[in-house]
Amino acid sequence: MSVADILTEVGQKYAVSAEELMERFVRGDVSRSTEGSGLGLSIARSLTELNGGTLELTIDGDLFKATLVFDKD
C-alpha cells in the first residue's frame, strides 16, 4: 500500500464539507476573485479511482488534507 498526504493551509475556514468540496464546480471559498472552475478535486478523485486508489479529504478549520491511497498489486 502506498499513501501520500498533501496539506494546504488557506488562511480561513472552509464553508463546505470535505465531501461537498469533491463535487464538480464547488469551490472552497465562493468569495475568491481568482480564476478556477471548482473541477480540480473532482478530476483528481476520478483519476485516482481509475488507477485503483482512493482520495480522501479532511478539513480542520483552514487546513485541507488530501490523502491518496493505492494498493500495491
pLDDT means over runs of 10, the chain (73 residues): 70 73 71 69 92 89 85 76
Query: Are 5 and 67 contacting, i.e. CB atoms less than 8 angstroms apart?
Result: yes
Query: Are 10 and 46 contacting, i.e. CB atoms less than 8 angstroms apart?
Result: no
- Domain locations along the chain: 2-70
Please tell me the pTM assigned to this model: 0.69
For 13-48, letters b (16+ CB in 10 Å) and e give: ebeeebeebbeeebbbeeeeeeeeeeeebbebbeeb
C-alpha closest to that of 55 among 68, 44, 43: 68
The superfamily CATH assigns to domain 2-70 is Histidine kinase-like ATPase, C-terminal domain (3.30.565.10)
